[in-house]
Amino acid sequence: MKSTTRTATSKPTTKAKTKATATDATSAKLEAIESNPALSEKEKFLAQQDANDIRLGNPSATNCAWGKPNIFLTFQHPDKTKVKAWMINCSSGWENYQTSNPVRTMAFTIVLGKHDARRFQLSIMGEHLTAETAKLQFEDIIGISYPKWCISFKGGFSLPMDYCKITELSEPETRDDKFILRTIEEHFQSENKTGKDGWTVGNVSVIEWGKSLKYPDAKGQMETYTITAKTCWEDIETLMMAGGRFVKVSKTFCQRFKKGDALKFRLNAIDAEEMGKKGTGLYRLLI
């Protein structure tokens, strides 16, 4: 969380006094726990809970669980492309709240397209868990960035996703979730204007034309490639139409597929008839 430098004054503000008082009260609670061996385990848990209430501002009211709300945010892919996304299926809670290391959890699903939904479970703990972050609401989330590996909130601060479990939902999981289906119907139903979503040639399968496709990795597991450059998709269409045969593509083919997922896809899924400056310029899909 970003810190703000303030000029010191001769008289502490009311907010500063309150914070200092809360800190002193927390310290007193913790000292009482440590210095009293006669306390039972239950009494220690309750005393620690009281100390956390003081430090974090009694945040128990932030717990919630709901699926219906549709919260808009910005999602940034690994190649730095930004797209619109909608957050649903939100739930929050606490773990280990009666210990000295409480954890705030925020779980939610992000819908990025007709065939792309991901489940996030963010754990806020340690130095990142403060009276402010303990009361964060899902409406406060405004963006998720893979390149920066963080979640951004209103107010200009962000939290790292080092303790965030991310799961890409499968097609059956997407189809079985009525809230995901409703979100797709409301925001992505008219997206397949080309009629090429779901187009499959061999091992190459288009998820969303112009945005993403799948191809198996070295272990045979399907891997998703996010490619947004229009010129790349022109060549992908040419290769898919050839059905695994060598075909002539653009002269700037290698330059088009030179970074990010585009490069990974070229190296894993595309074969050149002859490499080097004297190459024939013919390529094919490894299907």
Please report whether residue 210 resides in a domain: yes
3-state helix, strand, coil in the chain (%, to 5): 30, 30, 40
Residues 146 and 69 in one domain: yes
User: Residue range 5-24: average pLDDT?
Assistant: 42
Which of 7, 27, 56 terminates a domain? The answer is 56
Residues 74/142, Cβ–Cβ less than 8 Å: yes
Taking the C-alpha atoms of residue 92 and residue 98, their distance in angstroms, rounded to an integer, is 17
Both 274 and 221 in one domain: the answer is: yes
87/69 same-domain check: yes
Domain count, the chain: 3
* Structure confidence by residue, pLDDT tens digits, 65-79: 555 557 889 999 888
In the numeric block, the tokens 């609670």 are attached to 29
Q: Measured between alpha carbons, how far is 263 from 221 in angstroms, rounded to an integer? A: 18
Q: Is the pLDDT of residue 237 over 80?
A: yes
Same-domain check for residues 104 and 160 = yes
> Which residues have CB under 8 Å from 43's CB, separation 6+?
none
Same domain, 130 and 158: yes
pLDDT at position 69 is 58
Within-domain flag for 242 = yes
Domain that holds residue 37: 19-56
Q: 5: pLDDT confidence band, cut at 50, 70 and 90?
A: very low
pLDDT digits (tens, 9 = 90+) for 238-267: 999 888 889 989 888 999 999 999 999 999
Q: Quick one: 23 and 93 in the same domain?
A: no
Please check whether residue 8 lies inside any domain of the structure. no
Whether 101 and 147 share a structural domain:
yes
| Domain co-membership, 71 together with 164 | yes
Q: Taking 90 as the threshold, does the pLDDT of residue 43 lie above it?
A: no
Task: Work out the pLDDT band at 42, boundaries 50, 70, 90.
Answer: confident
User: Residues 160, 222: one domain?
Assistant: no
**Which of 142, 173, 204 is a domain's end point?**
173
**Segment 201-209 long-range contacts (CB within 8 Å, at least 24 positions apart):** 201/240, 201/243, 201/244, 201/285, 201/287, 202/243, 202/244, 202/285, 202/287, 203/269, 203/286, 203/287, 204/240, 204/269, 204/285, 204/287, 207/113, 207/115, 207/116, 208/113, 208/114, 208/115, 208/116, 209/233
Inside any domain, residue 150: yes
